[in-house]
Structure 1
Amino acid sequence: MEIENILGYLLNTSARLIKHDMEKQLSDFKITTAQWAVLKLLDSWGELTQTEIADKLKSDKATIGSIVTRLRKKDLIVKRLSIKDSRANMICMTEQSKIMVKQIEKLARRTSLNALVGFNKEEKDRLIQALQRIIHNLDEAGNQ
């Protein structure tokens, strides 16, 4: 089988190209794609613990910890003690990051549109469903 037909190669290459395009879009904001993912997740879900962020982004706690530290230094998030569990810190967006997310969403949409040129709505929907199924399948396999 040729490398151009191997699923892992195709997914990795497309993800790398999308990430590269997003990094160009994010350069003016001085954040990385990983930092953007955390901010977008917080924007969608509200306050979360570092563990919750790691779980939702399918990442490890150490990586999320360093991203949180960098975002705190940039005044884009704050940590607050959890009302429910005094041992846990909640990660919260600042007003600055809420404004930034709205601006970046437009750029992220542009990257997605560029990646999906020539796809009709049905093809886009099927692609998203297929990728979600791949993630679910491998996540389930990893938890067994």
Structure 2
Amino acid sequence: MNKASEISLGYLLADVTRLFRREFDRRVAHLNLTRAQWRALKCIGRDSGLTQAALAEELEMEPIAIGRVIDRLQKAGFVERRADPADRRKWRLHLAPASHEVMRAVDRLSGEMREAVLGAIPAADMAVTERTLNAIKQNLQTLDRGDAGAIPAPRTSTR
């Protein structure tokens, strides 16, 4: 990698992420959900029964802020808080039946957006991109755990 690409990769990833979020927000605006709300619904749908604390950590939000998000989702009939049978101080989060229609709409809009954004990119290019991004993610997670020695040594270029 040359110096210019080393510097710009982080900015490129941030720009792509920002543009993805902005476009998705535009597409789901008619559902009257904030970004935090639809992200919370997706997480709860993927991991039914998680705690508010676990959701806050996954979404990188403060517990008080995620509490307000869940309050609004519960008031809208999209989320149920159920007591944890093992720990009465904890509440487990579950999607309520009323959320299923809005989640189908979010999934449909997400699929349409993916097709619009990625559909013209050859499958082989997408496979390389996904492998590369997953490797970057794994390296960052390793660094985050403080285990830099576990990252494989750089390969020498054969180009």
Do the two structures share a fold, i.e. TM-score over 0.5? Answer: yes
TM score, norm. by length of structure 2: 0.74
Change (3 A) 1:66 1:127: farther
Alignment map for 1:104-143 (pairs within 5 Å): 104-116=106-118, 117-120=120-123, 121-130=126-135, 132-133=137-138, 136-137=141-142, 139-141=144-146
Change (3 A) 1:41 1:32: same
Q: CA deviation at 1:91?
A: 1.5
Paired with 1:55 and 1:71, the residues of 2 have a C-alpha distance of: 18
Alignment map for 1:1-144 (pairs within 5 Å): 5-116=7-118, 117-120=120-123, 121-130=126-135, 132-133=137-138, 136-137=141-142, 139-141=144-146
The structure with the largest alpha-carbon Rg is: 2
Query: 1:4 touches 1:10 (CA, 8 Å); kept in 2?
Result: no
Structure with the larger RCO, 1 or 2 (CA within 8 Å, 6+ apart): 1
> Identity over the aligned pairs, expressed in percent?
24
Paired with 1:138 and 1:75, the residues of 2 have a C-alpha distance of: 40
Count residues with an aligned counterpart.
Answer: 141
Paired letter, 1:28: H
**Per-residue CA distance 1:53-84 (angstroms, 9 max, x = gap):** 12333433233222212212222112121112
Query: 1:50 touches 1:64 (CA, 8 Å); kept in 2?
Result: yes
For residue 86 of structure 1, give the secondary structure of its aligned residue in structure 2: strand
CA root-mean-square deviation: 2.5
